[in-house]
């Protein structure tokens, strides 16, 4: 197959940290907080500004608290689990690697013996089986499987337990039902293309009440402590972070939020991700060697996962399929056509292409001929 002539302007399609916003320049990060303490009036003001912009762009209700916490989305999820779980049974839902991690921590670390609902990569468990009297722990969008819950209809308004939702690759790209979600976590390194190591924790009224009425049976590490004097430490949700944040990363996050707000806010960001998914959907429809890992009604519009359906490749062992994918992605990286698009290491061998709001649809249009070329090159080596 002839090598394509045009390359994507931005060939980075990593699923985290994700591509920077179009037009990003490091010089734009020279904000007033650089070189200042995060506890100075300037530092706290910028952190509070980032929180308020998050509320505006993500359309978080006034009833919910928003805090910036350590250790990316993982830290935010773990903080929620360590502080909130214990008084009720737990239902943990897993259909990809990060959901499986939360199951492992609830089981092995907190010793909670949760009810576990599982499904293989590319599928969802039967959500009608969720016990609404239990605390529910789940991911909204499975970054490593390309599967998302289609909506929150399966969560009862009369639920007795809390819902703890890892929304790291869904926030700003998919519709979150705040009435059904008591805890939402994400990292700004996903849809907004921010830097790593900072998480965002959003608590609804029911979660706040749980924190103030429940004292966990286990020790709480310092970086997870959001109680103070038996009450929630509201300073954390005004920009008084638990540990030292990178103010450079905070300025970068503010820049991304300003960009998203300038586009038109949440709906505009969601529309960009939807448009990007359509580019790949149109290509899949006309190709004979690839398909989506997930069915259309549960398919992610951010972490888009593809499987190779060509019979000659699909008949190979898993290790051989992984080697085939490595040949493809190596050729694409060498040509500077696409970086970091191999599927997650625990997922079925295939491709994973980030389609969040910071990706331009035009770059995906330029990418797909390269995918066909790389497949042809790898298959020629196979033969």
Looking at residue 168, its pLDDT comes to: 97
CATH T-level topology, domain 266-382: 3.90.1150
Tell me, what DSSP letter sits at residue 108?
A: I
Beta pairing partners, 148: 141
Q: Which two tokens stand for residue 167?
A: 């929304």
Apex CA 367: angle with CA 362 and CA 372, to 5°?
Answer: 145
- CATH number of 26-262: 3.40.50.300, 3.80.10.10, 3.40.640.10, 3.40.50.970? 3.40.640.10
Q: State the 10-residue block means of pLDDT for the chain, 383 residues long.
A: 96 97 94 93 97 98 98 97 98 97 97 98 98 98 98 98 98 98 97 96 98 96 94 97 96 97 98 98 98 98 98 97 98 98 96 98 98 98 87
Query: Beta strands 183-187 and 163-166: pairing type?
Result: parallel
Query: Beta strands 350-354 and 303-308: pairing type?
Result: antiparallel
| Phi, psi at 354, each rounded to 5° | -75, 130
How would DSSP label each residue in 297-355? GGB-SSEEEEEE--HHHHTS-HHHHHHHHHHHHHHHHHTTS-BS-BPPTTSPSEEEEE-
Identify the sign of the CA torsion 169, 173, 174, 177: positive
Q: Where are the domains of the chain?
A: 26-262, 266-382
Q: How far is CA 111 from the centre of its chain?
A: 26
Looking at residue 383, its pLDDT comes to: 78
What ranges in 109-195 are assigned the alpha helix state H? none
Domain 26-262 identical in fold to domain 266-382: no
Looking at residue 206, its pLDDT comes to: 98
Q: pTM to 2 decimals?
A: 0.97
Looking at residue 31, its pLDDT comes to: 83
């Amino acid at each position: 197959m002839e090598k394509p002539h045009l390359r994507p302007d931005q060939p980075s399609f990593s699923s985290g940290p994700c591509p920077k916003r179009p037009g990003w320049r490091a010089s734009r990060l020279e904000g007033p907080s650089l070189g200042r303490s995060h506890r100075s009036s300037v530092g706290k003001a910028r952190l509070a500004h980032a929180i308020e912009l998050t509320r505006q762009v993500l359309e978080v209700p006034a009833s919910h608290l928003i805090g910036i916490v350590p250790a990316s989305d993982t830290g935010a999820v773990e903080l929620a689990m360590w502080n909130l779980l214990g008084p009720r049974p737990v239902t943990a839902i897993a259909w990809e690697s990060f959901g499986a991690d939360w199951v492992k921590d609830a089981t092995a670390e907190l010793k909670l013996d949760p009810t576990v609902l599982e499904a293989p990569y590319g599928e969802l468990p039967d959500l009608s089986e969720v016990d609404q009297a239990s605390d529910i722990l789940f991911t909204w969008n499975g970054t490593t499987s390309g599967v998302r819950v289609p909506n929150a209809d399966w969560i009862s308004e009369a639920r007795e337990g809390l819902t703890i939702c890892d929304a790291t690759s869904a926030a700003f790209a998919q519709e979150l039902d705040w009435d059904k979600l008591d805890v939402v976590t994400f990292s700004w390194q996903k849809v907004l293309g921010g830097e790593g190591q900072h998480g965002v924790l959003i608590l609804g009224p029911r979660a706040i009440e749980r924190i103030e009425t429940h004292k966990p049976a286990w020790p709480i590490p310092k970086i997870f402590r959001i109680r103070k004097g038996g009450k929630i430490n509201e300073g954390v949700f005004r920009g008084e972070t638990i540990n030292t944040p990178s103010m450079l990363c905070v300025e970068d996050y503010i820049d991304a939020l300003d960009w998203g707000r300038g586009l038109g806010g949440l709906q505009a960001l969601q529309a960009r991700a939807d448009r990007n998914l359509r580019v790949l959907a149109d290509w899949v429809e006309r190709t004979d060697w690839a398909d989506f890992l997930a069915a259309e009604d549960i398919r992610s519009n951010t972490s888009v996962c593809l499987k190779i359906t060509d019979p000659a490749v699909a008949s190979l062992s898993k290790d051989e399929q992984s080697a085939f994918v490595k040949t493809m992605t190596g050729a694409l990286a060498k040509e500077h056509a696409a970086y970091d698009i191999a599927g997650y290491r625990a997922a079925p061998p295939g491709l994973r292409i980030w389609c969040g709001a910071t990706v331009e649809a035009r770059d995906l249009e330029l990418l797909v001929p390269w995918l066909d070329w790389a497949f042809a090159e790898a298959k020629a080596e196979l033969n």
